[in-house]
Amino acid sequence: MDNFPLLDRFNNWLKESVMVKLFSIGVLMLILMIPSFWVQDLIRERQVRGEEVIAEVAEKWAANQTLTGPVLKIPFRDFVTEKEWTGDVERTRVVETKRYAYFLADNLTIDGTVSPEVLQRGIFDVSVYDSKIKINATFGDIDFAKLNVSADQIFWSEASLVLGITDLQGIHENPKVRSGSTSFTSESSGDIGLTMGQHSSASNYDINRTVVTTGIVVPFDWKSKDDIVKEFSIELDLKGSERLYFVPAGKTTTVSLSGAWSSPSFDGKMLPTTRNTSGTDFNATWKVLSFNRPIADQWIDTNEALRGTEFGVRLLIPADQYQKSMRTAKYDALIILLAFTSLFLVEITRKVRIHPFQYILVGVALSVYYTLLLSISEYLGYNAAYAIASVATIVLLSLYSTTFFKQRSLVLLFSAVMSIFYVFIFVIIQAEDFSLLIGSVGLFMIIAVVMYFSRNIRWYKEEAITE
């Protein structure tokens, strides 16, 4: 019987101890971090699914397009020495082989008009375009002497003009190639001998990988150097997805692009010299000199890598809900900490009893918020989804708080505090350039407020001293 008073005192200590309460809240927060990781994995999974849908649509429409050229491609005869063994005796022999010389234009002018549209596959949007491109190229003297190739080695009758195009599926009208009043016939080719950067599965170029460029070939039947044509115009109707890039394949390359798209991204190796964007359309001009890019004016075979010199426009879908949802989900621990701190301070200062299970339900509601945000953002966009999810969660928590806050003023106070927290996070997400500054200042102010309201808390019970 003597042990019962001790057990009662121990139970009362568990109920009244501030340290036990803080420890319990800390354990609950660690447990509630598990759903946070699940939510982030879910966001990544949906983002990957979106990229797969974009790839599926691009496969049927046309992929990202990069134009390389036009470039003159002229074969010539060369002789190489090969070694061979006959028994133990090493012999050498001279073998005739065909190699190719490539010549860039002196002046390359490209004018393009892009007509974008958004295709929908389920809940996902994909930006595609149809473009009309006019190319004018003027070539200078074809000087094989710089390449140490004599005139009797050149196959003039096999010369051709090549234009690299990433995805030939995007050509939906026969290209028109002219020189003055003379028209030429073009052919498609899976190997035009140029190398360039390949698009990776991610949103940027993987410049460490190279592929043989597909494109169109315009064969000539020149008899000698006197038959060379030096001026060409090409009209091209080209479809593609998301990006339209160009390689500066001229001593002086000028590219002008325009289109009806409100949020273009000008990226790649070069930025435009002039640009103009409005709420409905854009236009931009690039001017690249031979001094600005590491490409020789002429070379032999495929030793000249053109990768990494591309530039152009990317048609961005304005709402990137997955990236913003992921950034928001990373603040899950902070929101739970601030919410639990608010409840704890009210519990201590106003002598309100909140059960650990009630803390758990509040934490679960704060975690479910992020799945609500993600699912709604896929239909309505991030901003609208944030407002709906935030209001729904605050209303839910406010109604539930009436079960342990008997005073209406405390319910309103808790609702106001949660509203401030969600507005604070939204401001951080929107202000990417100043997010660290705003977050640091905001957290400093929150800590100051917590210190102020906790200044009168008696963390240890004072025992009466009797003599």
331 and 231 in a common domain: no
pLDDT band at 263 (very low <50, low <70, confident <90, very high): confident
Average pLDDT over residues 424-432: 81
β-bridge partners, 363: none
Average pLDDT over residues 407-435: 85
Neighbouring residues of 178: CB distance < 8 A, sequence distance ≥ 6: 184, 232, 233, 234
Q: Is residue 211 scored above 50 in pLDDT?
A: no
Contact 394, 415 (CB under 8 A): yes
29 and 87 in a common domain: no
Q: Over the stretch 155-179, which tens digit does the pLDDT of each residue have?
A: 998 899 999 898 888 898 889 999 9
Residue that finishes a domain, picked among 317, 337, 354: 317
170 and 127 in a common domain: yes
327 and 302 in a common domain: no
243 and 119 in a common domain: yes
More confident residue, 400 or 202: 400
Q: Over the stretch 104-133, which tens digit does the pLDDT of each residue have?
A: 999 999 999 999 988 877 777 788 899 999
* Phi, psi of 85, deg, nearest 5: -115, 130
Positive or negative: CA dihedral 138, 140, 141, 145 = negative
- Give domain status of residue 26, yes or no: yes
- Give domain status of residue 372, yes or no: yes
- Give domain status of residue 3, yes or no: no
Residue that finishes a domain, picked among 275, 293, 317: 317
420 and 285 in a common domain: no
150 and 194 in a common domain: yes
444 and 340 in a common domain: yes
Average pLDDT over residues 148-154: 86
Query: Which candidate, 106, 76, 74, places its Cα nearest to that of 221?
Result: 74
Burial-class residue 441 by CB neighbours within 10 Å (0-12, 13-18, 19+). exposed
Output DSSP code: residue 153.
G
Contact 412, 342 (CB under 8 A): no
pLDDT band at 196 (very low <50, low <70, confident <90, very high): very low
Q: Over the stretch 298-334, which tens digit does the pLDDT of each residue have?
A: 888 765 556 678 899 998 776 567 778 888 888 888 8
Distance CA 292, CA 305 (A): 15
Distance CA 342, CA 54 (A): 44
245 and 201 in a common domain: yes
Distance CA 290, CA 311 (A): 15
Strand (E) or helix (H) holding 52 = helix 18-60
Using only C-alpha atoms, the chain has a radius of gyration, in whole angstroms, of 34
Domain count of the fold of the chain: 2
Q: Is residue 336 scored above 70 in pLDDT?
A: yes
pLDDT band at 377 (very low <50, low <70, confident <90, very high): confident
Average pLDDT over residues 452-466: 62
- Give domain status of residue 151, yes or no: yes
Question: What's the angle, vertex CA 216, arms to CA 137 and CA 173, rounded to 5?
Answer: 95
Q: Cβ–Cβ contacts within 10 Å for residue 62, how many? A: 23
Question: Strand 250-259 and strand 105-121: pairing?
Answer: parallel
Average pLDDT over residues 250-260: 93
Quick one: tokens of 152?
A: 């009797």
Distance CA 14, CA 28 (A): 16
Distance CA 280, CA 404 (A): 53
Distance CA 167, CA 314 (A): 16
Q: Is residue 195 scored above 70 in pLDDT?
A: no
Q: Is residue 204 scored above 50 in pLDDT?
A: no
- Give domain status of residue 6, yes or no: no
What pLDDT, on the 0 to 100 scale, is given for residue 3?
A: 53
Q: Cβ–Cβ contacts within 10 Å for residue 57, how many? A: 20
341 and 304 in a common domain: no
Average pLDDT over residues 199-217: 51
Question: Strand 182-184 and strand 176-179: pairing?
Answer: antiparallel
Contact 144, 76 (CB under 8 A): yes
308 and 329 in a common domain: no
Q: Is residue 8 scored above 70 in pLDDT?
A: no
Contact 246, 66 (CB under 8 A): yes
Q: Find the largest Cα–Cα distance for the chain.
A: 123
Mean pLDDT of the residues in the chain = 80
Q: Over the stretch 50-96, which tens digit does the pLDDT of each residue have?
A: 777 777 877 788 888 999 889 999 999 888 777 777 667 777 777 88
Name the residue range of residue 379's domain.
15-49+322-453
> Cα–Cα distances in Å, from 309 out to 28, 136, 205, 258, 304?
53, 20, 11, 21, 12
- Give domain status of residue 308, yes or no: yes
β-bridge partners, 50: none
Output DSSP code: residue 151.
G
- Give domain status of residue 148, yes or no: yes
> Cα–Cα distances in Å, from 350 out to 116, 124, 289, 336, 404?
61, 50, 73, 21, 12
Match 């389920």 to its residue by tokens. Answer: 122
231 and 105 in a common domain: yes
- Give domain status of residue 56, yes or no: no
Beta strands in 279-431 (DSSP E): 282-289, 298-300, 311-315
Residue that finishes a domain, picked among 287, 317, 347: 317
